[in-house]
Homo-oligomer: A and B are copies of this chain.
Amino acid sequence: MHSQLHQNSKSDAQAEKILTGDRATGQLHLGHYVGSLQQRAKLQHQYEQTILVADLQGLTDNGNNPHKVSSNILNVVADYLAVGIDPLKTTICLQSAIPALAELTMYYSNLVSVARLQRNPTVKNEIASKSFGSSIPTGFLMYPISQAADITAFKATLIPVGDDQLPMIEQTNEIVRKLNSIAQDEILVECRPLLSKVPRLPSTDGKSKMSKSMGNCILLSSSEKDISKAVKSMYTDPNHLRIEDPGQVEGNIVFTYLDAFHSDLNYVNDLKQKYKEGGLGDGTTKKILEECLQEILRPVRERRETFISDKAQLIEILQKGSEKSQDESSQVLKDVKNAFGLNLFQ
């Protein structure tokens, strides 16, 4: 009985398909590492997984600065490989190299009203946080449709997201239901969120969003010296002036990072206790954190250096993954075109 249950759950897991990815607008950092990369490196053993390097989506708010996107595509692929994402287990592909995704976006755009996009909470928040003024690029407004194309093109069922991305899943499933109703057949598959349990990692200054140009984040490629510098300048408790004073743990970025990265949480809890009581200096906690981060990032950085030095290999991995993905998504596109009766040449 137990064995049968086990088999069932294994076959269920195999039937699940994960789609995830990153906008190619910068190198990946520790926020990505704890938020998604580690998870992906594990999930690839359990599920069929596709990771999309979303260069087209990156362009939706960088149309006038495309270099920010094009210069980071291989960086992101190297980041993936460095954390142990294995191209033999995970399909890594490039959005702009998969024409079927653009075609699906065009079909779906007829099924979603402008008002519906403008109501999307994720898009609303992102528009508010950017400096578009009244000039929101059309591509940006419609990126939920493009994302629905990405998800459905791979018949993905599980989408790793944070809370803030749940409206994107709902938008995708609305399109799936509309399309299936037009097709009078279950040609597209609804997806579910795989909610991340990890809270978003704050920037080292504890204030703004992580950004390389702000110098408030630690990249997977950061040098030993940069890591050291970043930890030393980390935001702690501004009222903790002398070692013997009691310190505050909440909002203290050093402890937030220790929680996220230290392997021994009992040890971290003891540190917190001591810090609150007084007698533990920021120099010491920072030293402990730095050692921990250096240990985690040293092998990642070294692997990354090897990968980034062989651009031809990165391109080959991306090209193979993109070709496989175009084959896969062409099948879905064919079904969608069929639903619209567009099958003259088939």
Contacts and interface: CB of A to CB of B under 8 A. Distances in A.
A64 B69 CA distance: 36
A64 B182 CA distance: 7
A149 B311 CA distance: 32
Contacts of A110: 59-63, 137-140
Interface string A99-117: 1101101110111111111
A178 to B, nearest CB: 8
Nearest to A56: B106
Interface residues of A, number: 58
Interface of A is mostly: helix
Nearest to A60: B110
Contacts of A138: 109-110, 112-114, 117, 141-142, 145
Contacts of A26: none
Contact of A69 (B100, B106, B137, B340): B340
A64 B111 CA distance: 8
A70 to B, nearest CB: 3
Contacts of A315: 344-345
Contact of A113 (B99, B137, B146): B137
Contacts of A340: 59, 66, 69-70
Interface string A322-346: 1000000000000001011110110
